Chain A
Amino acid sequence: MSKPVIATASLAGCFGCHMSLLDIDERILGLIDLVEFNKSPIDDIKTFTKPVDVGLIEGGCCNSENVEVLRSFRKNCKVLVSVGECAIMGGLPAMRNGIPIRECLEEAYLNSPTVDPEDRLIPNDEDLPIILDKVYPCHEVVKIDHFLPGCPPSADLIWEAVTALVEGRPLQLTYDLIKFD
């Protein structure tokens, strides 16, 4: 029997949630026995090569590429999980929400004291993803099946959730596992 397949991505996040995944320490050997990784920064597979059972999403959507990646995860993953505060509610990148994006861009690229006065420009290369008006939580863009809060979620929470999901049992969420910081 083939092993359950997992994919992961970091959208508008800091990779802290991925670090926390690695923080499961020696259990990672067990995890490798249990599952197979597909598209993920962990194995550097860039595109989906087969249907995935569980997709783990870190980070919210701050630009058009995030949206595209998230949608492709939704298409390719049976179960999709928002991992961490940024995926769930935008997190620190969302501190800009409520401020018009033009104001943010002008502050960052035109008016900040550290901008080179000779080179004031809001980045406009056509190859760059387009920044969104706000940072969106993943579940406001696609359907999300599970949420793992925390900044980052603890390694124990990730372990519990991933093993529960691949084994098809309900998550056991004890008090110490749910934290928003």
Chain B
Amino acid sequence: MNDIRFTIDGKECLGKPGQTIVEAAKANGVYIPVLCHFEGLKPVGSCRICTVRVGGRFMAACTQPLIEGMAVENTAPDLEDMRKSLIEMLFVEGNHLCPSCEKSGNCELQALAYRYQLMAPRFPYLWPRRDIDASAPLLMLDGNRCIQCLRCVRACRAKDGRKVFAAVDRSHRVKIEVDKKLAAHLSEDQARRAMDICPVGAILRKETGFAVPIGRRKFDRAPIGSDVEKGTGR
């Protein structure tokens, strides 16, 4: 099948049929910020940080398939401010205490905040009471830090296909729960994958915190997305 021609902020790009805007943008060296998205998992459009504008309409770039001739707006100031707002919302709706978090420096939410120069949120802190579930032998689930990205729900399954993590309740009370019976039998690899797939410090492999010194962590030196943009002169 033929390539799809489209533009991002006026830049001519080529994409493949079946690609989403996020995927095609990345292949063209353009970074569209994402948080719930994870390569290889079905996109679910939950965080909305990848919101772009096409023909005056807003859409999540992680779930929207490419269409011939699309003119995607990615860095318009009002769009960037919307994204910053969404990042701020995630900070105030949970309890994100970066100084004491094992994931600090490797956290994608924090990294986005750095990229967007989040100094203080425009929203008031909500301070919800959230649980920590440390009952699984290898894993710890800290609801304070969870951002409902659903990566773990999508990625982590037991051998027979059952979901290890699931969303329970709804509205602002929605939370991710780990299935106690399945979690009791997770292998080292499964536990490690669960931690690695979590963009924040909500899922942790026990006994492994603070392994990388400050200065050498993933986002200490270069902003999130700079790998995508390398050589594009942003």
Do A and B touch each other in the complex, judged by CB within 8 A?
yes
Which residues from chain A sit less than 8 Å from chain B, CB to CB? Answer: 82, 85, 88-92, 94-95, 97-99, 134, 137, 139-140, 144, 146-149, 151, 173, 175-176, 178-181
Asked if A181 and B117 make an inter-chain contact with CB atoms under 8 angstroms apart, the answer reads no
Task: Tally A-B pairs: CB < 8 A.
Answer: 72
Q: Known interface pairs A97-B127, A98-B128. Does A89 touch B223 (Cβ–Cβ under 8 Å)? A: no
Known pairs A139-B120, A180-B110 / 18 extra A-B pairs, C-beta < 8 Å: A82-B120, A89-B120, A92-B99, A95-B100, A97-B95, A97-B125, A97-B127, A98-B95, A99-B129, A146-B119, A147-B120, A149-B119, A175-B114, A176-B220, A180-B114, A181-B98, A181-B105, A181-B214
Q: Counting CB contacts under 8 A, is B113 at the interface?
A: yes
Asked if A181 and B104 make an inter-chain contact with CB atoms under 8 angstroms apart, the answer reads yes
Q: Flag B190-225 by CB within 8 Å of A: 1 or 0 each.
A: 000000000000000000000000100000111100
* 6 A-B pairs (CB sep. < 8 Å): A97-B125, A98-B127, A173-B117, A176-B220, A178-B119, A180-B98
Asked if B214 and A90 make an inter-chain contact with CB atoms under 8 angstroms apart, the answer reads no
State the interface size on chain B (CB cutoff 8 A): 28
Residues from chain B with Cβ under 8 Å of A94 in the complex: 95, 97, 125, 127
Residue of B nearest to A150 (CB): B99
Give B90-145 interface residues, CB cut-off 8 Å to A: 91, 95, 97-101, 104-105, 110, 113-114, 117-121, 124-125, 127-130
- The 9 A-B residue pairs whose C-beta atoms are closest, nearest first, are A151-B99, A180-B98, A147-B119, A97-B127, A98-B129, A147-B120, A181-B104, A98-B127, A181-B99
A19 CB to nearest B CB, Å:
14
A94 CB to nearest B CB, Å:
7
Residue of A nearest to B105 (CB): A181
Residue of A nearest to B101 (CB): A181
B131 CB to nearest A CB, Å:
11
Report Cα–Cα, A47/B146, bound state, in Å.
43
Chain B binding surface, main DSSP class: loop
Asked if A178 and B117 make an inter-chain contact with CB atoms under 8 angstroms apart, the answer reads yes
Report Cα–Cα, A178/B105, bound state, in Å.
12
Residues from chain B with Cβ under 8 Å of A175 in the complex: 114, 221-223
Report Cα–Cα, A134/B120, bound state, in Å.
18
Of B97, B110, B221, the residue contacting A92 (CB under 8 A) is B97
Asked if B127 and A180 make an inter-chain contact with CB atoms under 8 angstroms apart, the answer reads no
Report Cα–Cα, A113/B192, bound state, in Å.
36
Report Cα–Cα, A90/B125, bound state, in Å.
10
Residues from chain B with Cβ under 8 Å of A149 in the complex: 118-120
B55 CB to nearest A CB, Å:
33
Report Cα–Cα, A122/B48, bound state, in Å.
46
A97 CB to nearest B CB, Å:
4
Residue of A nearest to B95 (CB): A98
Residues from chain B with Cβ under 8 Å of A95 in the complex: 95, 97, 100
